[in-house]
Structure 1
Amino acid sequence: MRILIFGMSGIGSFIGGALARAGADVYFYVRGKNREAIEKEGLHVTSEILGDFKVWPKGMGQDGKSFGKMDVIFLACKGNGLINACHDMDPMVGNSTVVVPLLNGVLVSDLMAPLLPPCFIADGTIRVFSHMEKPGHVVQTAGSGKVVMGMKDGKNRPILYDLADILQKAGIPAEVTDDIRLDSWEKYALMGTNSALFCLFDGPAGKVRRQENYRKIVAEAVEEVITVARAQGVIFPETYKENYLALFDSLPGDTVTSLYRDLKDGKKTEDTETEMILGRMVKMGKEAGVPVPCFEKAYEKAALRTRGHALSGVHSEHDLKEQSDAQIIVSRFPFRCEG
């Protein structure tokens, strides 16, 4: 099975490193200094799960035509790079290729379908906290590393089960589910709602919790996601909202999401996942006829950056913890999303 890792950032490098060490027929689509470092010294993996090691893939580069058609492609880019990624993947996608996106958002397959040639586009989630310490060196510090994947219609192809077996043998827990829609929505409800709240109040969890009646607003925000999902035929567990509220109450005060951190660091809105995480919920709400005022206001505040306004920052929380959405999911969510 020829497997391509497209996007050698924290997630892609973690998966690619595990597969390469296990002897899988894995290839890296990588460019720039990251590629130079891996070509020279190999991919250095430092992982709480996998250990510390260096590996080389079967091949690497940034010319899709040179790779040929792949059996499986793991897509691990950021949401704002999705269109360009699909364009660059085109030469490697054949009629039987299975593409598994592992990025923030909900049911990313819906967005990818019109961007790729005929193939099989699954959906996937991963529970891991990993980042690039420097070019060629990925560090994984938290989370089970579990990958959950499946076809949106529940008609999972045999290759997905073979892929899960390969991941398991490489040290990465993996599962093929008949209900990836619920798994994807549950992850999005956590990550998306947190992002909306942090943008709405311009600060981390501690600042949100200092607001009057904050729990009412938190409940309203997550209910917006649950209601839009219901309009699409996805039913959350009855305990989800209360569990989410308990989670939010327990988050360290300096917890932020990657979207808020990017905006706080001064990135332009178009260079962040604002559209993927906030804008898409606003769009889905309008399409379903479901009001989503919390997400609309958060989206509006994030979009102000394109007009020269910066998020004001957090005056009483000077050091924002570098904590990814996935880390929150795997280490603190006490129900089905647990990896």
Structure 2
Amino acid sequence: MRILIVGAGSTGGFFGAKLAKAGRDVTFLVRPQRLSQLEQNGLSVRSAAGDIDIEPQLITAAQLHSTFDIVLVAVKAYALDSALNDMIPAVGSNTVILPLLNGMRHMELLAEKFGKDRLLGCACKVATSLDESGRIVQQGTFNDIAYGELDGSDSERVANVHEFMRDAGFDAKTSKTISRDMWEKWTLLAAMGSINCLMRGSIGDVVSVKGGREFSEGVIDEVVSIIQAVGCQLSEPFLAEARRLLTLEGSPQTSSMYRDLIAGRAIEADQIIGDLLVRASAKGLEAPILTLVYSNLLVYKAQLPN
């Protein structure tokens, strides 16, 4: 099987490097700037689990003329629109699309473009970033990816994808509850991103100050109420663990959106917070804390250089 990874940033590059090192046929679809960087320096991952340095197979949109068995979409959500057009030649009648993006809007956009029958649900958990030289740096040790049919059924294509992904240096698994997994991930991202970004600190920083824990609890309650109204019923074990993680004293944990904000980079405010507010409004739900968070993030976005 052949996989095309759309984007060779911190997430796509991480999983792609692992797959390539394990001997899989991996090609990265990249923009000219990233192409130049990777051609010059190669693709490097720095991790406590072991470093990886490979010479990746690279292709640009202008050079893409054949289909792939798997297309792993690993761009930031704000770059999806252009990626949808770039990847068109790679999607054939039997191609499986695995999206690693945050939120849920991307699933609707991919289904509109390529048909819902091309999609598997997919959720990954990994904390990575790019350093100044373009190397991928992993924070922590977790590197999980799960995938499955959106209706929870077994299928040959899920089995084939799993055969391709397994034993490649990360935790790969099939899931019969992948839709709920994705909604649960969005819950964590929206709540943690709101706490970190509005308060400009880690989870531990926030809960250590007067009113911080109460603020965090309010964010969690608001996000959960929206997700359960517009998405699905979240599991009790997930809710208990999410509340524990998001109010944990001394926790250094921050969201990727917060790390991007602190670094002065573009952020996924519209996809993680804005889209949640759109869905809440459609259900007649009020979300005062998330509304404040979103306004704060929009001010930040407006101040970014073009």
TM-score relative to the length of structure 1: 0.79
Where structure 2 has 5 or more consecutive residues not aligned to the other structure, the ranges are none
Equivalent positions of 1:208-223 (< 5 A) are 208-210=206-208, 212-223=210-221
Deviation at 1:117, TM superposition (A): 6.0
- The answer to whether the Cα contact below 8 Å between 1:44 and 1:138 also exists between their aligned partners in 2 is yes
Q: Does 1:39 align with 2:34?
A: no
Equivalent residue, structure 1, for 2:81: 83
Deviation at 1:66, TM superposition (A): 2.9
- Structure-1 separation of matches of 2:92 and 2:34: 27
Equivalent positions of 1:227-306 (< 5 A) are 227-232=225-230, 234-250=232-248, 252=250, 255-267=253-265, 271-305=266-300
Distance 1:307 1:64, change over 3 A: closer
- Structure-2 separation of matches of 1:143 and 1:53: 15
Distance 1:188 1:55, change over 3 A: same
- The answer to whether the Cα contact below 8 Å between 1:3 and 1:71 also exists between their aligned partners in 2 is yes
Deviation at 1:233, TM superposition (A): 5.4
Give per-residue Cα distances to partners, 1:186-227, cap 9 Å, x unaligned: 211112101112333344434532554433332232222322
Equivalent residue, structure 2, for 1:324: none
> Could you tell me which amino acid in structure 2 is paired with residue 114 of structure 1?
E
Deviation at 1:294, TM superposition (A): 1.5
Secondary structure of 1:169 counterpart:
coil
- Structure-2 separation of matches of 1:194 and 1:118: 30
- The answer to whether the Cα contact below 8 Å between 2:30 and 2:61 also exists between their aligned partners in 1 is no
- The answer to whether the Cα contact below 8 Å between 1:33 and 1:135 also exists between their aligned partners in 2 is no
Identity across the alignment (%): 28
Secondary structure of 2:299 counterpart:
helix
Distance 1:109 1:151, change over 3 A: farther
TM-score relative to the length of structure 2: 0.87
Equivalent residue, structure 1, for 2:30: 30
- The answer to whether the Cα contact below 8 Å between 2:203 and 2:249 also exists between their aligned partners in 1 is yes
Equivalent residue, structure 2, for 1:56: 55
Distance 1:238 1:107, change over 3 A: farther
- Structure-1 separation of matches of 2:280 and 2:114: 26
Give per-residue Cα distances to partners, 1:12-56, cap 9 Å, x unaligned: 11111121122212111123454234435542333333x234333
Where structure 1 has 5 or more consecutive residues not aligned to the other structure, the ranges are 310-339
- The answer to whether the Cα contact below 8 Å between 1:124 and 1:184 also exists between their aligned partners in 2 is yes
What's the C-alpha RMSD, in Å, of the aligned pairs?
Answer: 2.8
Which stretch shifts more, 153-162 or 277-286? 153-162
Distance 1:5 1:24, change over 3 A: same
Distance 1:117 1:300, change over 3 A: same
Distance 1:82 1:156, change over 3 A: farther
- The answer to whether the Cα contact below 8 Å between 2:105 and 2:271 also exists between their aligned partners in 1 is no
Q: How many residues align?
A: 305
Equivalent residue, structure 2, for 1:4: 4
Secondary structure of 2:98 counterpart:
strand
